[in-house]
Chains A and B, each alone.
Chain A
Amino acid sequence: MVDQGPYAYWVILASFFCALTLAVLPVPQWLAWGRPEWVVLVLVYWVIALPHRVGLITALLLGLMLDIVEGAVMGQNAFALVVVALLSVMLYQRLRVFSVAQQAGVVFVLAGINQMICQWVQNLEGAGASNLMFLLPAFSSALLWPFVFHLLRSLRRLYRVN
Chain B
Amino acid sequence: MFLVALVVVVLLAADLRFNALQTARSLMEVAAAPVYWVADLPSRAADWNREHLVSRSDLLEKNEQLRQENLVLKGRSHQMASLQAENVRLRALLNSSAMVRDDVLVAELIGVSPDPVRHQLVLNKGEQDGVFAGQPLIDADGLLGQVVEVSPLISRALLITDATHSIPVQVNRNGVRAIAEGIGSLTSLEIHHVSATTDIQAGDLLVTSGLGGRFPVGYPVAVVSEIERDPGQAFARIIARPSAALERSRHVLLVFTAKPPTGD
Contacts and interface: CB of A to CB of B under 8 A. Distances in A.
Nearest to B164: A127
Nearest to A118: B115
A60 B31 contact: no
Nearest to B112: A26
A124 to B, nearest CB: 6
A75 B149 contact: no
A111 B162 CA distance: 25
Nearest to A59: B4
A17 to B, nearest CB: 7
13 contacts: A26-B112, A60-B8, A64-B11, A71-B122, A71-B156, A74-B12, A74-B14, A75-B9, A78-B8, A122-B118, A127-B163, A127-B184, A128-B117
A68 B29 contact: yes
A26 B117 contact: no
Contact of A69 (B1, B32, B184, B247): B32
Contacts of B106: none
Given A70-B115, A128-B117, 6 more contacts: A26-B39, A32-B114, A65-B31, A71-B122, A73-B12, A78-B8
B200 to A, nearest CB: 27
Given A26-B39, A69-B32, A69-B35, A75 B184 contact: no
A134 B21 CA distance: 27
Contacts of A126: 163-164
Interface residues of B, number: 44
Contacts of A127: 117-118, 162-164, 184
Interface in A58-103: 60, 64-65, 68-76, 78-79, 82, 86
Contact of B120 (A71, A82, A121, A130): A71
Contacts of A68: 25, 28-29, 31-32
A21 B35 contact: yes
B15 interface: yes
A17 B149 CA distance: 23
Contact of A65 (B9, B32, B36, B111): B32
Interface of B: 1, 4-5, 7-9, 11-12, 14-16, 21, 24-25, 28-29, 31-32, 34-36, 38-40, 42-43, 111-118, 120, 122, 149, 156, 162-164, 184, 186, 247
B53 to A, nearest CB: 21
Interface of A: 17, 20-26, 29, 32-33, 35, 56-57, 60, 64-65, 68-76, 78-79, 82, 86, 121-122, 124-130, 133-134
Contacts of B29: 68
A37 B9 CA distance: 22
Residue of A25, A73, A122, A134 with most partner-chain B CB within 10 A: A25
